[in-house]
């Protein structure tokens, strides 16, 4: 349950808290999240808005009544494992990234019956989630369980006394399947605060695949470029033409080359461009067998000067300061890319690029392309044809048009190239401080999470739901996505009505379940998409822990860097005159201590 303590706070803060909770249950503002969410389920999201509530009566197979009949029949067959039957029916207050729209969703009902528990949700707007959490915490209100929490916030919350310790021996005892994965990947070092384990790490085996860049092949052709850019200078030439040579052929100068996912973590900001300079201002890089924070490297200075040059040339959208990296509720970069407002983007995963009319980019692309709409409609009864396409790394005139190209990394001024890889360390799970007083309740939740990571039936239900809605079995017994799912009443942006994948806190942790929805689509995803992009050169953050002083100096690793990067690109400051002094200030204000701690850890791993 929620922990409530008597804390005296200003009246305004209390009012803000009341407003948040009086209006968040049905506000419809929840986004599908920023790069830690489950890609399959947040795609096709715009279709639901067009379908309303499904309407229809009992004869309508897509009506709410028909959907609920399928759900009721399926839930009647769900069996609670003996162990969970014999444990107390604990009640948990949960704050996921995206909560079900209303109580009683399929996901909630399945979870409660399967594991003999009761769930109570704290519903927040994902675009201001951190601010709303801070307001909650200021009142002494702490959910029992929260997931998809930024790693950097763990130490800050722990130092405020908000979190329960999760001892490693408790995890080992109650999570026999998940614990070995975490230990082998050395993820517990990232959740240690003052010698105690204060979170449950999220193992993300897909995180090693680079964030890929996409470029519009039709725009390249329309501006007279018939060769995929292989260097930064060649890419710059394409960008210049994207802005000045009317790539969409509408007779207007209304296109930009690229923008920026301002709502994302800084490590993804212009990540492919920084990669061409061999750096990234938001992560720790290895130089001369030592760790150095990316922002302090001379390569960042040169990359910022190039980006500022592009901004002055109007190649970068003036909305780069506010553009949304990923959303199902507001216009985001994938929408702008698919609608022909920008011609290049580099902030989403390989799953979003897959040619399945389902990924975050691809669904929006198909929606804006009659040829591709016809292709998927004509082949919806033949999955082998529908999912036959490999990602395109070059021009291809033998498929419906237009296409986007998953651009292989391009070389920068000194030959560096590569896309950012976030690594196998995902955003961890945390537990409210009150859970420490109820170890049996905490242990059961750990056992539930372990069960989901290792049991195919539970994972399937909490990732894709049940046969007949999001997926269907074909004549060969394969589980395939249901092409008519967007027509159903329970289909909606972010899956807040159906409530399946958003209640699975361990999405994609078990590679054995990657193909739980199998057949040609899974083959396309992993053999013709992931394997191709995984071969691209990449780089990642070399620091594998939260530093002891990180909470104290957190603004040095995020806010201050973002502010400087934005001002530098927009031309609000002179990079040549300010960069070196800004780096010196960074070291003086705490960066020296952070660098010392980073290298002490790094040398200990040798």
Asked whether residue 259 is domain-assigned, the answer is: no
Given this model, what pLDDT does residue 39 score? 31
Distance from C-alpha of 219 to C-alpha of 222, rounded to nearest angstrom = 5
Three-state secondary structure call for residue 432: strand
Given this model, what pLDDT does residue 544 score? 87
427 contacts 202 by C-beta, under 8 angstroms: yes
Taking Cα atoms as reference points, which of 17, 73, 75, 36 lies closest to residue 499?
A: 75
Beta strands 404-407 and 212-216 are: antiparallel
Burial class of residue 311 in the structure, from the number of CB atoms within 10 Å of its CB (0-12 exposed, 13-18 middle, 19+ buried) = middle
Given this model, what pLDDT does residue 501 score? 86
Distance from C-alpha of 25 to C-alpha of 18, rounded to nearest angstrom = 12
Distance from C-alpha of 242 to C-alpha of 96, rounded to nearest angstrom = 40
163 DSSP β-pair partners: 432
Taking Cα atoms as reference points, which of 340, 328, 329 lies closest to residue 256?
A: 340
Given this model, what pLDDT does residue 577 score? 98
Given this model, what pLDDT does residue 468 score? 95
Asked whether residue 227 is domain-assigned, the answer is: no
Given this model, what pLDDT does residue 476 score? 86
Distance from C-alpha of 535 to C-alpha of 531, rounded to nearest angstrom = 6
Asked whether residue 118 is domain-assigned, the answer is: yes
- 402 upstream amide cis, omega within 30 of 0: yes
Distance from C-alpha of 342 to C-alpha of 594, rounded to nearest angstrom = 38
- Quote the DSSP letter at residue 318: G
Longest dimension (CA), the chain: 71
Asked whether residue 120 is domain-assigned, the answer is: yes
Given this model, what pLDDT does residue 53 score? 44
108 DSSP β-pair partners: none
Distance from C-alpha of 39 to C-alpha of 352, rounded to nearest angstrom = 7
**Dihedral of CA 106/108/109/112: which sign?**
positive
Given this model, what pLDDT does residue 58 score? 63
Given this model, what pLDDT does residue 9 score? 33
Question: What are 204-243's pLDDT values in tens digits?
Answer: 999 899 999 999 999 999 999 999 999 999 999 999 999 9
pTM of the shown model: 0.76
Given this model, what pLDDT does residue 462 score? 96
Burial profile 144-176: b = 16 or more Cβ within 10 angstroms, e = fewer = bbbbbbebebbbbbbeeebbbbbebebbeebbe
Asked whether residue 404 is domain-assigned, the answer is: no
Given this model, what pLDDT does residue 385 score? 97
Distance from C-alpha of 606 to C-alpha of 604, rounded to nearest angstrom = 6
Asked whether residue 387 is domain-assigned, the answer is: no
Distance from C-alpha of 249 to C-alpha of 543, rounded to nearest angstrom = 46
453 contacts 447 by C-beta, under 8 angstroms: no
Q: Which residues contact 260 (CB under 8 A, 6 or more apart)?
A: 269, 270, 316, 320, 321, 323
- At 454, list the tokens: 């290792």
CB atoms within 10 A of CB 413: 15
Taking Cα atoms as reference points, which of 204, 148, 205, 198 lies closest to residue 168?
A: 198
Given this model, what pLDDT does residue 493 score? 63
What string of DSSP letters covers 240-298? HHHHHS-TT-SSS---BSB---TTS-GGGTTHHHHHTTT--TTSEEEETTEEEEGGGSH
Taking Cα atoms as reference points, which of 82, 150, 83, 87 lies closest to residue 118?
A: 87
Distance from C-alpha of 211 to C-alpha of 537, rounded to nearest angstrom = 11
- Total count of domains within the chain: 1
Length of the chain: 606
Taking Cα atoms as reference points, which of 353, 348, 359 lies closest to residue 324?
A: 348
329 contacts 302 by C-beta, under 8 angstroms: no
Given this model, what pLDDT does residue 1 score? 45
Asked whether residue 397 is domain-assigned, the answer is: no
Distance from C-alpha of 349 to C-alpha of 361, rounded to nearest angstrom = 9
Given this model, what pLDDT does residue 244 score? 99
Asked whether residue 292 is domain-assigned, the answer is: no
- Quote the DSSP letter at residue 588: I
Which residues of the chain are modeled with pLDDT < 70? 1-58, 493
Given this model, what pLDDT does residue 519 score? 87
- At 362, list the tokens: 């691809």
Q: Which residues contact 320 (CB under 8 A, 6 or more apart)?
A: 258, 259, 260, 262, 311, 569
Given this model, what pLDDT does residue 408 score? 98
Q: What is the CATH number of the domain that holds 472?
A: 3.40.190.10
Secondary structure tally for the chain: helices H, strands E: 26, 15
35 contacts 148 by C-beta, under 8 angstroms: no
Taking Cα atoms as reference points, which of 466, 572, 600, 521 lies closest to residue 67?
A: 466
Distance from C-alpha of 62 to C-alpha of 56, rounded to nearest angstrom = 8
**Residue holding tokens 């040398």?**
603
Give the range of the structural domain holding residue 171, as residue numbers without chain letter.
11-206+425-509
Beta strands 471-473 and 479-481 are: antiparallel
Question: What are 3-41's pLDDT values in tens digits?
Answer: 433 333 332 333 333 333 333 323 333 333 333 333 333
């Amino acid at each position: 349950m929620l922990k409530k303590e008597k804390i005296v706070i200003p009246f305004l803060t209390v009012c803000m808290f009341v407003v948040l909770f009086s209006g968040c249950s049905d506000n419809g503002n929840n986004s599908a999240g920023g790069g830690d969410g489950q890609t399959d389920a947040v795609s096709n999201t715009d279709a639901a808005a067009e379908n309303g509530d499904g309407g229809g009566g009992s004869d309508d197979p897509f009506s709410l009544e028909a959907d609920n009949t399928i759900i009721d029949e399926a839930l009647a067959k769900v069996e609670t494992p003996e162990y969970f039957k014999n444990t107390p029916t604990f009640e948990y207050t949960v704050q996921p990234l995206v909560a079900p729209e209303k109580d009683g969703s399929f996901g909630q009902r399945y979870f409660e019956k399967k594991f003999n528990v009761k769930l109570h949700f704290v519903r927040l707007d994902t675009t201001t989630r951190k601010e709303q959490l801070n307001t909650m915490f200021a009142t002494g209100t702490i959910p029992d369980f929260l997931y998809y929490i930024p790693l950097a916030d763990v130490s800050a919350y722990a130092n405020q006394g908000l979190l329960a310790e999760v001892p490693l021996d408790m995890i080992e005892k109650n999570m026999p399947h998940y614990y070995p994965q975490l230990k082998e990947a050395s993820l517990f070092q990232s959740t240690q605060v003052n010698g105690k384990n204060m979170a449950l790490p999220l193992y993300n085996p897909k995180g090693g695949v680079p964030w890929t860049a996409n470029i519009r092949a039709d725009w390249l052709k329309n501006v007279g470029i018939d060769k995929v850019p292989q260097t930064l200078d060649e890419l710059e030439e394409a960008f210049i033409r994207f802005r000045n040579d009317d790539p969409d052929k509408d007779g207007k100068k209304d296109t930009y080359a690229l923008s920026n996912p301002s709502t994302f973590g800084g490590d993804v900001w212009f990540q492919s461009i920084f990669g061409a300079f061999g750096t990234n201002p938001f992560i720790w890089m290895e130089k001369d067998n030592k760790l150095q924070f990316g922002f302090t490297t001379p390569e960042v200075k040169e990359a910022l000067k190039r980006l500022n040059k592009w901004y002055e040339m109007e190649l970068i959208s003036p909305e780069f300061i506010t553009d949304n990296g990923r959303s199902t509720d507001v216009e985001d970069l994938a929408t702008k890319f698919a609608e022909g407002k920008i011609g290049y983007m580099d902030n989403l995963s390989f799953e979003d690029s897959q040619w399945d009319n389902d990924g975050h980019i691809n669904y929006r692309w198909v929606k804006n392309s009659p040829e591709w709409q016809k292709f998927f409609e004509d082949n919806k009864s033949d999955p082998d044809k529908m999912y036959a396409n490999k990602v395109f790394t070059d021009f291809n005139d033998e498929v419906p048009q237009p296409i986007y190209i998953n651009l292989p990394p391009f070389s920068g001024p000194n030959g560096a190239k590569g896309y950012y890889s976030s690594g196998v360390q995902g955003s961890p799970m945390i537990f409210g401080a009150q859970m420490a007083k109820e170890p049996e309740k905490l242990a059961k939740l750990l056992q539930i999470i372990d069960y989901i990571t290792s049991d195919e039936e539970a994972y399937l239900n909490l990732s894709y739901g049940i046969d007949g809605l999001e997926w269907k079995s074909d004549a060969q017994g394969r589980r395939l996505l249901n092409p008519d799912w967007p027509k159903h009443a329970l289909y909606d942006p972010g899956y807040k009505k159906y409530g399946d994948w958003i209640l699975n806190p361990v999405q994609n942790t078990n590679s054995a379940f990657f193909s739980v929805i199998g057949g040609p689509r899974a083959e396309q995803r992993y053999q013709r998409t992931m394997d191709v992009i995984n071969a691209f050169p990449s780089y990642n953050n070399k620091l594998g822990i939260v530093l002891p002083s990180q909470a104290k100096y957190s603004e040095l690793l995020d806010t201050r860097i973002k502010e400087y990067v934005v001002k530098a690109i927009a031309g609000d400051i002179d990079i040549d005159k300010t960069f070196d002094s800004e780096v010196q200030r960074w070291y003086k204000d705490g960066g020296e201590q952070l660098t010392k701690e980073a290298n002490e850890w790094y040398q200990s791993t040798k």
